Structure 1
Amino acid sequence: MRSAGVHRLEAARRIGVNIRTAQDWDLGIRHVSNKRIRPDGRVIDYTSGMTTLLPAVPAALEQPISNRYLSLSERETIRDMIAAGSSLRTISTALRRAPSTISREIARNTVPVHGYLPYAAHRAAAARRPRPKNRKLQTTPRLRAYVTSKLRIRWSPEQISRTLVKTYPDDQEMRVTHETIYQALYLQGRGGLRREVAATLRTGRSRRKPQNTGEARRPRFADEMVMISDRPAEVDDRAVPGHWEGDLITGTLNQSAIGTLVERTTRYVMLLHLPHDHTAESVRDALVTTMGSLPEHLRGSLTWDQGAEMAAHKSFKIATDIDVYFCDPASPWQRGSNENTNGLLRQYFPKGTDLSVYGPEDLEHVAQELNARPRKTLDWDTPAERLRDLIQST
């Protein structure tokens, strides 16, 4: 009836089948035991949700699958036009395809000896199409072991991805994008990586979600503040080392705290031990002790938020001769390096825990581990390496 020009809907009505079934018949799709077998050999099993590929036969290969994909006749045209010396844009114009489509097709399916072969290219494309595919972290044990080991010492997926390129510059097998690692951790059943490894991520979340912004703070002390808008330009562009950002991370019910300091140029981290409380006097004394031990050229300035713990900022400046600048209310991005570091520290000091149980040795160990991590913003050097080079060159 279709060959005689009968409309599909009318033909389906006459023989008593659903219009969807008639549409599948028009496309050459067969239904067998809750499976749909497509002309290109793909078998879609609706019971398991799996797609597999039957051995290809010439008749199935020759039938176009969809306008989205290159057909065998188009691949033959590509071969003929390549032999005639046509450019990629000439081929794309003739086939009404994007030049990038033709470029990728030739790059993927050209073999060293025989060049571009249309039938081989068509078979290779059909073989690549079935889903789901095995992920690289499942099929490459050596890569999987490397990624797992770095996750266990709290490296981020992007740190792992970038360091692989530096560590194995000539080994293409040891390559994985940070997004692949995130998907292996977050997507149940796709993985590759054991679910408990996800707990080593900084957020500790089982799925992604956007961060919330903080609430505005009001000034809490009488001594006049020097605002961040008055900070010299050399501090803003990170061109000159020795300028620091600081903050506190607090424990259960804000009863305990650890002070954090980050050098803006090298991202080097130092932690302040506050064993008893985090009053303005305790924070001032810890800052004087820690920053007073730095070389003169690394004591440029300190940028803090308007927390009550910095009420003694004037006496700190007198004791150390270090200028103190304050961020605007509800503007944590003005201390971006420090905010990022505080997030990293929550891997070691989770929210809602008692921070007073950690001694100076514990804080030093955590700081050393953070300073040994490669950083994207440092072109994948570590803060310790950058600080070492800075001290040696001075």
Structure 2
Amino acid sequence: MAHTENTIQNCKNKHLSPFERGQIAALHKAGHSNRDIARRLGRVHQTITNELERGTTTQLKTGRTPYTAYFAETGQAVYERNRLNCGAKSKLLTAAEFIDFACEKITDQGWSPDAVVGFANKQKEWKDKLMVSTKTLYNYIDLDFLHVRNIDLPMKTRQNTKTKRVRKNRRILGMSIAERPSEIEDRTEFGHWEIDTVEGKKSDDNALLTLVERKTRNYYAV
């Protein structure tokens, strides 16, 4: 029996898209079989089986019984991680000579990945050999693909990830009380006032403004 809706040939050797993973999650939750889902998506049923195994995880919620289910987001995340690892490991093999050279310079001589790549680019011996970029080297280190670790990169461990925030329109509040002249502190000179405000408990209360002359102790409240 021929299936007129079958489009397996069009999707052969193509990776599942996030949208298709969403369809798989919805159809699987609705109780459709792997073969039925494959027919609807134009895929071979083994692709659906592999995807369900890849994206199935156990969920733990406080006060509830753990349950296992397929999640499209999990399947996509696992797929992307596998693709990254696959490509990285293959590059590690083909550029193994440069990787060993980079690790030696970083661990034994304290070079940074950027210094290694910059140096190699200027050397004739590396002109026809496969190398990786500075960013790729850092990625390999972050992913623990090399025996070099972030702790081996002094400049990276000293970097401050928090940027200093400079307030351009910072209010100038005047001289600090601690810096006032001694004659003000000793109350020997008339004309120096202290000012303060007192706010009520409610946000719509009026504020009370108080002024005190330091020598005479004359007090005003508005």
TM-score (norm 1): 0.23
Name the structure, 1 or 2, with higher relative contact order (CA <8 Å, separation 6+): 1
Over alpha carbons, which structure has the higher Rg? 2
